[in-house]
Structures are given as C-alpha cells and as structure tokens.
C-alpha cells in the first residue's frame, strides 16, 4: 500500500467513532479603536521601526530623505522616480547583496498589530528584493490601513506569496536581549502617506 | 536517554542552567501576560482557535485530500511519509536529484523530530540550521532545550566561545574582534550564514499552518532566516505534520492572532511568510511538500489525547510550568519538552519504554499549562489519562510494580474496618519511630523523614515524608468517647498511647 493510502486509512480508522466538529465559534472582533492610521503609526513605531508621515506630493522627497546616500533597488512597478535606483529585472541574489536599500509599496497595513503585508505585486516586487538589502523603505497609503488581522486576511489573495512584516528583523536568542536585524533588513522605514 | 527523574536530578544540580531558565521563563511569561491582557476577548479568541484546530482534526482525512489537491494545482509536488525514515529519504532524494551537498534550514520541530540533519549527514548532505539559536546549538554540538529559544541554556560568553571555535570549521570564520555583545554575535551569525543563503540550491522548512482549501503553507519567524530559506533557493522542501492543517484561508485569523502573543509576547512576530506552490518568477521554482504521520495517527486515535494535536508550538506552557522551569528541556529526552512534550511524546510513541512512560509523571498537575494554552489543550487531563495508561500497561507484569502492590494492599485494608484499625495502629507506631529518627521538622512542628530505603526511596528522593500522627482519629474517638470526657491532645503527650 502507498504511504498516502496507508496514512489516510489510519486517519479514517482513528476517527471512525468521532463525529465531525460542531460549528467553529467565530473569532471576536477588536473593539473600535478610533483613528486607525494613528494607531498603525504608533504600533509600527513600537517595533523600533521608523515611521514618517508625508503627503503624496512630498513622497518623492521623503523617499530620498529616507534613503540618504544608500543605493536602492526598486520593483518595476513602483510608480515613482527614485534617483540612482536600480530597477529589479531579476537580479541574482549576489547582486542584491551588493545593494544597500530597497523601496517598495505595500498591500495592506494592520493597525492593531502594526503589521505591513506585501503581496508582491509589481509595485512591491519579488520577495527577494525586500529581503536581502539592509534598509527597507516601505510606502503605505493611509487608505490601505485596516483595523485587524481578519480584515487583512479578507483582502489578501492566498494564491499570491505574502510577506507580513512587523518591524525590522529581530532576535532575542542570546540571553533574551533584543537585537534588531539578523538576516532580514536591519532598518525598516515606513512612509505613511496621508 | 534516562527516565525523567534521573535526567531531572542531574539538571537540578546545574545552577547556571537553573538561573538562565528562571530568567528566560519569567521574562517571556511577563511579556506574554502583558500583550494577552491587551486583548479584551482573549477567551473567545482561544475558543475560536481551539475550534479551528479541533474541526480540522475531526475531519482530517477530507482536509488532507483537499490540501493535496490544492497543492498540486498550485504547482507543488506532494509526498506522504509514514515515519521519520521515509520522510528523511524523500528530502535526501530531492536534494540529491539537484546534486546538492548542502541545504539551508529554517527551524522546524518536525524536521528535528525526524532527525533530518543526521539522516542527511549520513547521505553526505550538510544541513545548516539558520535560526540564530539553532545555529548556536548546532555549532555547539548540543541539543535544543526550549521550543522558542533553543539555546536558552547558553550565556553570551559561551556563545562567543562556540562561534570562535566552530564557525571557521564549517564556513566563514567569526571575525577576530568578536565580543560577547549580543548584537556583535548576531552580526557574526549574519555574515556566516549569508554566504550559505546566497549559494544554497535547496531550502528545507516546516510549516506552522497548512491551509487545505488554498494549498497555502505558513511560516512564522523573527529573524528573516525563514524568508531566506523560503525565497532564495531554487528548490524548497517543506516537511509538514498532518496535524498542521486548517480548513480554510479565513481560519488563519484566530491562529495568527493567538500565536505571536502566546509565543514571544508580541502583537505580531516580525515576519510571516505564506506561499501556495510555485510563483513564476518569484522564489523557488520547484516546491515539495512532505506530509508526515510519524505517530500522529496514533495520537489521533486517543480520545483524550487527540487534543494535543491542536498544539501550535507556541511554548507558553513551558514558560509557566514549575517543573520545566527548574529542570529545562533536555530532561524530557525529546524535541518536545515541557508540559506539551510530557503528553505528546507518549501519544506519538506509546508508553512502552521506561523513558516515555516516565513523562506523564513529570508534572505537578497545577493546571497552569492549560490556563495559558492558546488552543485550550487540557494538558492536566491528558497527563492523568496517560498515567492510567502507564499503570494499565503494567497490569500483566510478572513482577508487579511496588505501586501496584501497595495499591492492592491498600484496597484490601480499606475494605474492612478491623483491618483498617490495625493498620492505623501500625501507622501510629511508625509515626513514633519516624518522629524519633527524623531530622526535618515541617512548618507546624510535625516531624518528617528524609530519604527512606527500599521502594519508598523513589518518593522520598525529592520530598520529605511527614511522620504519621501518633494517634489515629478512631483511637482518639475511643479514648475520649467521641471527645466528651477528655479534651487533652493525645498526639502531643502520648500518655495514653500505651495501648500499642
Ligand atoms: S500545548 Fe498549548 S501552550 Fe503548549 S506549546 Fe502547544 S499550543 Fe502552546
């Protein structure tokens, strides 16, 4: 018998007398927290990420200020001029490793948890570009901010790869001392367009 | 591996270990308590989480078939593995088919459980752990001691020493000016592992959740090493226990709210990755999923124990367990330590060997583990049920256990009033003997014996045995005619105790 049939057979035998579950209780919603954008701002900053607010007119300038002298890679669909940036056309991992920063947009921002979700559409690019460079400048529009995790899940398409980002990469593995950044970007700079 | 009490005794003697553990468990549990208190309807969220997992388990065969279908539709190759050996062989053959002599791994309980690193090594394939704590453990040729912070038993000076001594042997050496600052040590790990990430052809992962209706796998992590392993290699193999299934995409909601708060005490962990099969032009273009049984169907058949398969490996139960806090993870002799380990190992493997059979006893049954469990696993009830299973498994023994003999004798004694009276007199006598020879005095002035010889040694090895009262209730009743003519405390003076 194949392992597949064997395992499925064992599962069925183990549950022969077990009735399928009654209905699953609905998960509670968070109470209304008022100004979601303000909450998002506060909670992202809580992870020691940098949050800067700007208007859509001031966005280009804000990106330049966030990057400083760092050389950036940008996804092909960013929709914004970034001076000196390389547009990703399938750069190798080694090439990405030589680049300091990345600028992307996002799909959703979650206020309750301070999380940004990328669904890697053309304005966000491949997963690798937001991973290998050390500084991630992420543009989130105020209209993209939702209240909590279930709202984000309802908006996102599971067929796409998704990356949920809450602050910069971090570890507490040595004596529980929090250190920002091990393998992912050590600095996360969120530009909140309001 | 020795039985729990033996291993625990050694661990208890290690004061450094106890100090590290106490610090870690208290810190994490305070953080957890703070962020859990932020959620007003935490209890309802727990009920929802438990419901999602329980529903998936009770109809597991259907969900597994759906998962397989959706994965294949999304371009993944699905394998099934009955046990550790089959699972390891599948991973090795994928790696070999790409001519890889190394793989990069994101921390995964399932791959640890099946001993994947050792199995790959035997095939000439090096498996690099990329989680910082796992790297410390692997380089130190050591074993993990906690689900969440596997190297919690090491302090910074030890980590520095391990990095200096071992990094150069397996790859990029630690920098010469390495200090014991955590940020400097993390920086050394970054450099050391980046070289491996950039050249690796094959990545290996587990999954925190597998969504049946969409074929989505989910990995929750902090450092970005997970994203590296899941994104940069050409080929990805994920080893997923069959209990990781949830039915629908929406079911992720309570889980992704419960896990980070219960685990690291954060509102959300730094990185969560989800992917469904292959995405053209992004990430690995060959994706394999190994669905692993390895004892899970055995646990599934256990009516009381089945709920342990709801476990999402948050480790909250470890951090509140008074037993775990003192002995650490190694004493449990398995990759699953603490309260969940104490029930999961016997459920997956049965209680036939002495070590596994000792685990259901590694608990004070205080119930703290149930209180914190985000998916409401009633660990104490499962422990009690397993103790019964351990006892049952010895019913047919030719030489009965001392405990069984004692229980039989007790039943015989208690079933007859005259026998009970005799026994109580004997106990009063023992009380006087123990009282005379014991060195310990319990609060309240009662004397107690330390270590006793014979079968009682197992009990008194870690506890004081209070001396039985000199006079039993029945004796007092007879002497004072039900308390009507003598209110003198017979136990204090023993003047009327001359009857025996
Ligand atoms: S048993 Fe519950 S508390 Fe313990 S690790 Fe599993 S999910 Fe967490």
Q: Could you give the CA distance from residue B203 to residue A135 in angstroms, rounded to a whole number?
A: 24
In chain B, the number of structural domains is 2
Across B436-460, average pLDDT: 68
Note the pLDDT of residue B455.
61
What is the average pLDDT across B272-298?
Answer: 98
- For residue B212, CA distances in Å to B43, B45, B58, B219 come to 26, 21, 14, 15
Residue A95 has a pLDDT of 96
Q: What is the pLDDT of residue B462?
A: 65
* Per-residue pLDDT at B495 exceeds 60: no
At residue B493, the pLDDT reads 46
- Which one of 3.40.50.10420, 3.30.230.10, 3.40.50.300, 3.40.109.10 gives the CATH number of domain A35-193? 3.40.50.10420
Q: Per-residue pLDDT for B494 more than 50?
A: no
| Angstroms from B104 CA to nearest CA on chain A | 13
Using CA atoms of B414, B415, B416, B420 in order, give the dihedral in degrees to the nearest 10.
0
Whether residue B311 has its Cβ less than 6 Å from ligand 1 = yes
| Nearest-angstrom CA–CA distance, B322 and A189 | 41
State pLDDT tens for residues A98-131: 999 999 999 999 999 999 999 999 999 999 999 9
Q: How many helices (H) and strands (E) are present in chain B, helices listed first?
A: 24, 13
Q: Which of A47, A165, A163 is nearest to A116 (CA)?
A: A165
Domain assignment of residue B390, yes or no: no
| Number of alpha helices (DSSP H) and beta strands (DSSP E) in chain A | 5, 12
Which tokens in the block code for residue B166? Answer: 């071992």
Q: Cβ of B105: how many Cβ atoms within 10 Å? A: 29
Collect all residues with Cβ–Cβ distance below 8 Å to B365 and sequence separation of at least 6: B380, B383, B384
For residue B246, the enclosing domain spans 39-294
pLDDT digits (tens, 9 = 90+) for A126-170: 999 999 999 999 999 999 999 999 999 999 999 999 999 999 988
CA pair distance A88, A109, nearest whole angstrom: 24
Place of tokens 């992962």: B205
Has residue B487 got a pLDDT over 70?
A: no
Show the tokens assigned to B482. Answer: 């039900």
CB of A93 within 8 Å of a chain B CB? The answer is yes
More confident residue, B2 or A185: A185
3-state secondary structure of A79: coil
> Within a domain: residue B252?
yes
Q: Please, are residues A145 and A133 in contact by the beta-carbon 8 Å criterion? A: no
Nearest CA residue ID for atom 8, ligand 1: B314
The C-alpha atoms of residue B4 and residue B385 are separated, in whole angstroms, by 18
- Residue A72 Cα to ligand 1 midpoint, Å, equals 42
Give the pLDDT of residue B497: 44
Contact A2 B301 (CB under 8 A): no
Is residue B491 scored above 80 in pLDDT? Answer: no
Quick check: B490 pLDDT over 80?
no
pLDDT surpassing 90 at residue B443:
no
Residue spans of beta strands (DSSP E) within B149-294: 202-205, 209-211, 216-221, 235-241, 245-246, 271-275, 286-292
Rounded-to-integer distance, Cα B361 and Cα B359, Å: 5
Q: What pLDDT, on a 0 to 100 scale, did the predictor assign at position B498?
A: 43
Quick one: pLDDT at residue B23? 87
Question: Average pLDDT of chain A?
Answer: 95
Cα–Cα distance for residue pair A172/B210, rounded to 1 Å: 27
pLDDT band at B459 (very low <50, low <70, confident <90, very high): low
A contact residues 120-159, partner B, Cβ 8 Å cutoff: 120, 126-128, 131-132, 148-150, 153-154, 158-159
Instruction: Please tell me if the CB atom of residue B368 comes closer than 6 angstroms to any atom of ligand 1.
Output: no
Q: Which of B61-65, B203-207, B485-489 has the lowest mean pLDDT?
A: B485-489
Subunit contact B228:A131, Cβ cutoff 8 A: yes
Which of B250, B275, B294 finishes a domain? B294
Tokens of B457: 């040694």
Residue B352 domain flag? no
Contacts of A164 in chain B (CB under 8 A): 268, 271-274
Mean pLDDT, rounded, for B228-248: 98
pLDDT greater at residue B201 or residue A174: B201
Side-chain half-sphere CA neighbours of A36 within 13 A: 19
Q: For residue A163, give the H/E element and its range.
A: strand A162-165
Q: Give the angle subtended at the CA of B339 by the CAs of B335 and B341, to the nearest 5°.
A: 25
Backbone angles phi, psi at B212, to 5 degrees: -65, -50
Picking from B294, B312, B338, the residue at the C-terminal end of a domain is B294
Give the best-scoring range by mean pLDDT among A117-121, B384-388, B441-445.
A117-121
pLDDT score at B305: 96
What pLDDT was estimated at residue B143? Answer: 84
Confidence category of residue B407, pLDDT binned at 50, 70, 90: confident
Q: Is the pLDDT of residue A88 over 60?
A: yes
Residue A38, Cβ density class (10 Å: 0-12 exposed, 13-18 middle, ≥19 buried):
middle
Confidence of residue B458 (pLDDT cuts 50, 70, 90): low
Euclidean distance between CA atoms B287 and B243, whole angstroms:
20
| Alpha carbons A103 and A82: distance in angstroms, whole number | 9
Task: Round the average pLDDT of chain B to a whole number and report it.
Answer: 89
Does residue B405 carry a pLDDT above 80? no
Q: Would you say B21 and B153 are in contact if contact means Cβ atoms under 8 Å apart?
A: yes
Which helix or strand (DSSP H or E) is residue B77 part of? strand B77-81
Neighbouring CB atoms inside 10 A of A93's CB total 18
- Give the one of A14, A114, A183 whose C-beta lies nearest to B267's C-beta: A114
Q: How far is the CA of B446 from the centre of ligand 1 (A)?
A: 40
**How far is residue B240 from each of residues A103, B357, B371, measured CA to CA in Å?**
34, 26, 27
Domain containing residue B157: CATH number: 3.40.50.10420
DSSP code string of A130-162:
GTSSSEEEEEEEGGGEESSHHHHHHHS-TTS-E
Looking at residue A188, what is its pLDDT?
Answer: 96
pLDDT in tens, B461-483: 667 777 778 788 888 888 888 88
Kindly state the average pLDDT of the residues B430-454.
69
Q: What is the CA(B53)–ligand 1 centre distance, in A?
A: 13
For the ranges A61-70, B194-203, B435-444, the lowest mean pLDDT is seen at B435-444
Instruction: Check pLDDT > 70 for residue B16.
Output: yes
The answer to whether position B318 is within a domain reads: no
Report in angstroms the alpha-carbon separations of B108 from A138, A170, B105, B131.
Answer: 29, 18, 8, 10
Which has the higher per-residue pLDDT, B51 or B325?
B51
For residue B278, name the pLDDT band (cuts at 50, 70, 90).
very high
- Smallest CA–CA distance, residue A85 to chain B, in Å, is 21
Packed helices B379-393 and B338-349: angle between N→C axes, nearest 10 degrees: 40
User: Does B417 lie in the same domain as B275?
Assistant: no
Q: Is residue B123 part of a domain?
A: yes
B28-62: per-residue pLDDT in tens?
999 999 999 999 999 999 999 999 999 999 999 99
Over residues A41-53, the mean pLDDT reads 96
Residue A48 contacts residue A168 (beta carbons within 8 Å): yes
How many whole angstroms separate alpha carbon B118 and alpha carbon B308?
27
Q: Are B301 and B295 in contact (CB under 8 A)?
A: no
Closest CA to B310 of B49, B68, B66: B49
Residues 6+ apart with CB under 8 A from A57: none
Structure tokens at B273: 């990755």
Q: How many CA atoms lie within 13 A of B183 on its CB side?
A: 5
Q: Which of B294, B318, B333 delimits the end of a domain?
A: B294
Residue B10 has a pLDDT of 79
CB contact under 8 Å between A131 and B227, yes or no, is yes
Task: Indicate the SS3 state at residue A101.
Answer: strand
Residue B465: beta bridge partners?
Answer: B449
Each domain of chain A, given as residue ranges in start order, spans 35-193
Amino acid B30: pLDDT? 93
Per-residue model confidence as pLDDT tens digits over B343-355: 999 999 998 889 9
Within its chain, how far is the Cα of B317 from the centroid?
8
Q: What pLDDT is attached to residue A55?
A: 97
Q: Which residues contact B356 (CB under 8 A, 6 or more apart)?
A: B345, B346, B349, B350
Q: DSSP alpha helices (H): ranges in chain A? A: 3-14, 36-46, 59-67, 93-97, 149-155
Output the six-digit token pair for A59.
Answer: 């966005």
């Amino acid at each position: 018998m194949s392992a597949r049939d064997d395992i499925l057979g064992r599962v069925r035998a183990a549950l022969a007398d077990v009735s399928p579950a009654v209905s699953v209780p609905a998960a509670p919603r968070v109470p209304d927290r008022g100004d979601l954008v303000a909450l998002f701002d506060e909670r992202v900053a809580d992870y020691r990420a940098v949050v800067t607010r700007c208007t859509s007119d001031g966005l280009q300038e804000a990106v330049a200020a966030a990057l400083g002298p760092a050389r950036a890679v940008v996804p092909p669909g960013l929709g914004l001029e970034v001076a000196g940036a390389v547009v990703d056309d399938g750069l190798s991992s080694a090439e990405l490793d030589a680049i300091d920063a990345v600028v992307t947009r996002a799909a959703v921002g979650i206020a309750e948890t301070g999380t940004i979700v990328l669904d890697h559409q053309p304005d966000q690019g491949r997963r690798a570009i937001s991973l290998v460079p050390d500084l991630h400048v992420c543009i989130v529009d105020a209209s993209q901010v939702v209240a909590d995790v279930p709202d984000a899940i309802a908006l996102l398409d599971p067929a796409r790869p998704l990356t949920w980002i809450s602050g910069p990469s971090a570890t507490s593995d040595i004596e529980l001392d929090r250190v920002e950044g091990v393998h992912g970007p050590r600095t996360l700079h969120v530009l909140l367009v309001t | 591996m020795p039985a729990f009490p033996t291993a625990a005794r050694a661990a208890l003697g290690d004061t450094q270990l106890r100090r590290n553990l106490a610090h870690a468990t208290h810190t994490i549990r305070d953080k957890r308590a703070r962020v859990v208190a932020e959620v007003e309807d935490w209890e309802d969220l727990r009920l929802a989480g438990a419901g999602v997992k329980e529903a998936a388990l009770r109809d597991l065969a259907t969900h597994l078939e759906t998962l397989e279908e959706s994965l294949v539709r999304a371009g993944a190759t699905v394998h099934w593995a009955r046990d550790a050996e089959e699972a390891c062989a599948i991973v090795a053959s994928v790696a070999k088919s790409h001519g890889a002599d190394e793989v990069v791994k994101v921390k995964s309980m399932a791959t640890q459980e099946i001993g994947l690193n050792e199995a790959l090594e035997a095939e000439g394939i090096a498996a690099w752990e990329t989680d910082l704590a796992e790297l410390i453990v692997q380089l130190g040729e050591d074993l993990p001691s906690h689900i969440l912070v596997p190297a919690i038993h090491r302090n910074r000076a030890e980590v520095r020493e391990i990095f200096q001594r071992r990094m150069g042997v397996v790859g990029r050496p630690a920098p010469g000016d390495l200090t014991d600052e955590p940020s400097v040590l993390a920086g050394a790990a970054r450099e050391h592992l980046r070289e491996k990430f950039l050249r690796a052809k094959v990545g290996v992962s587990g999954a925190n959740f597998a969504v049946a209706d969409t074929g989505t796998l989910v990995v929750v992590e902090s450092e970005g090493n997970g994203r590296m392993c899941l994104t940069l290699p050409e080929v990805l193999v994920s080893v997923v226990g069959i209990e990781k299934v949830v039915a629908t995409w929406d079911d992720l909601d309570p889980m992704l709210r419960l896990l980070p708060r219960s685990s690291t005490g954060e509102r959300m962990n730094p990185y969560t990755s989800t992917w469904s099969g292959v995405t053209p032009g992004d990430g690995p273009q060959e994706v394999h999923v190994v669905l692993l049984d390895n004892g899970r169907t055995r646990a599934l058949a256990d009516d009381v124990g089945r709920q342990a398969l709801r476990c999402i490996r948050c480790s909250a139960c470890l951090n509140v367990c008074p037993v775990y806090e003192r002995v650490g993870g190694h004493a449990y002799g398995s990759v699953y330590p603490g309260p969940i380990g104490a029930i999961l190992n016997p459920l997956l493997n049965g209680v036939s060997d002495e070590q596994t059979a000792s685990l259901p006893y590694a608990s004070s049954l205080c119930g703290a583990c149930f209180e914190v469990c985000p998916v409401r696993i009633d660990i104490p009830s499962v422990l009690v049920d397993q103790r019964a299973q351990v006892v049952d498994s010895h019913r047919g023994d030719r030489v009965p256990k001392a405990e069984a003999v004692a229980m039989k004798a007790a039943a015989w004694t208690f079933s007859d009033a005259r026998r009970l009276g005799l026994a109580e007199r004997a106990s009063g006598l023992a009380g006087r003997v123990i009282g005379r020879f014991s060195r310990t005095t319990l609060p309240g002035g009662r004397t107690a014996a330390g270590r006793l010889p014979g079968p009682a040694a197992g009990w008194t090895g870690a506890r004081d045995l209070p001396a039985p009262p000199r006079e039993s209730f029945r004796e007092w009743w007879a002497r004072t005619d039900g308390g009507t003519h003598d209110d003198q405390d017979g136990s204090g003076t023993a003047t009327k105790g001359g009857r025996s």
